[in-house]
Amino acid sequence: MPLSFQHSCSAPIGIRQSEVEAKLQSLLARAIAWAQRHQHPIIASLSFPLDQFAPFHLFAVLQHLELSHRFFWLHGQECLIGAGTSLVLEAQGADVHRILKQKWEAAREQVVALGDEQVTDVLPTFLGGFRFDPQARHTSSAWRHFPDGALILPQVVFRSTQGGCSLTINHSITPEDTVLTCESAIHLVLDRIFQISASLAQDALFRSGMVSRDVDTSQEEPWKQLVSDAVRAIRQGTMSKVVLARSMRVNARSQSSFDIPSLVYRLHQQAPLSYIFAMQFQETAFVGATPEQLVAAQAGKIRTMSLAGSALRGQTVETDACIGQALLTSRKDREEHAIVTDTIMQQLGPLCNTLHRPVLPQLLRLPTIQHLQTPIWGQLRQGYSLLDAVSALHPTPAVGGLPSDGARTYIRTYEQMDRGWYAGPLGWIDLNGDGEFVVALRSGLVQKQTATLFAGCGIVANSQPESEYQETCLKFQVMLNAIQGQS
């Protein structure tokens, strides 16, 4: 198994450094020859095989490097951990998706993949995401390091798939460079990673909780009133659904900052079936454990899911089955789910030659909550990419509402909160256009001793303010448990 989830292992990063050094010189010589032949700078993406790596330990190691950006992604055996920046693509404003796609297409001409013969299928990978609404009226300085959209080619990327593990180094090279100068610069980073890995206590991720939480009940009644007002607007025909979110603030128990790798580890313990992510810009981290895939692409084939309608897990097998069956037959939840499913089919239809879905939804059971889920899959038309699908789908009715424009306008006007990247697309895309984006739910923005958590729910004509409020409390639970050290 390429990933090691043990609390400790003899080799947290399974790599033969002598082999890497020998191969690095050869790959750098090829990269410099490429730059000289074409007479322009390139970013050489140099990949090497690894025996294994321990993802949480490795992410903790990267915290000790003086690098401004870090990224963590884990779902099943698919893991991506990146640090530093070789190329940063950013965009602002209402047209952020189109602009960022253009920049990504242009960047593909700058990056040259030069892999070891054992990792020829490993391609340069951009990591990033998008703000929920680049035209939001209420903005917070807490999100100041997060642009409306960003795709980042990290300096180093550790990756694991079912096929094995790899290390990729992305390094800028000019025609004037030499193997010696490039090798020295790369070794400064790699040697530091291995030195820290060897010295870092591997039980550092398993400390007890670090926070005390003061529940701000002053938000409860105003938010319930917001739900009541939205129900009234829906019944008056303004829209058919709107998703309203709220935030909760928690503070560290001491003056010590939150430990992001520990939080990521505990999120995985809490929600092993979810997508675990962390995006760090400077000293601010956006962290979460989302159950919702937005869309994935591989060789032109796309897959996504409709996820809407929620209920608690039962305390026993019998009660859990009863709750699940009630969710499957709930008129309110089935209607909400059907809206989301039908909208996704309509949004992806123009991009696809074929598009499929089962007739009935199924249950997605997570540790503390269960959802209605419908898988959707198809084949992209020639000329369309994963980024086109991301743009077409966001925001889904599960995080925005219907009709989309009307719901977004309502959220901008009445929600009184900056969602930032919460409920926005977050993920990765490689040089070929393969990749995956999720909807960044069950998440929080962490800044030193403070974390702001986010949760929302879909409001329709028969929504009840109290039950919707309790649903948000339930959705906070995974992040709260992780922050408080419960697993």
As annotated, the active-site residues are 241, 292
| H-run or E-run covering 24 | helix 17-38
* Rounded distance between C-alpha atoms, residue 14 and residue 17, angstroms: 9
* Rounded distance between C-alpha atoms, residue 309 and residue 337, angstroms: 6
Give me the torsion for CA of 57, 58, 59, 65, rounded to 10°.
Answer: 120
| H-run or E-run covering 265 | helix 260-270
DSSP string covering 409-442: HHHHHH--S--TTTTSEEEEEETTS-EEEEE--S
β 435-439/293-298 pair status: antiparallel
Under a CB-based contact definition with an 8 Å cutoff, are residues 148 and 134 in contact?
A: yes
Contacts of 434 (CB under 8 A, 6+ apart): 123, 297, 298, 299, 386
CA–chain centroid gap for 269, Å, is: 17
Beta bridge partners of 2: none
> What single letter denotes the amino acid at residue 111?
V
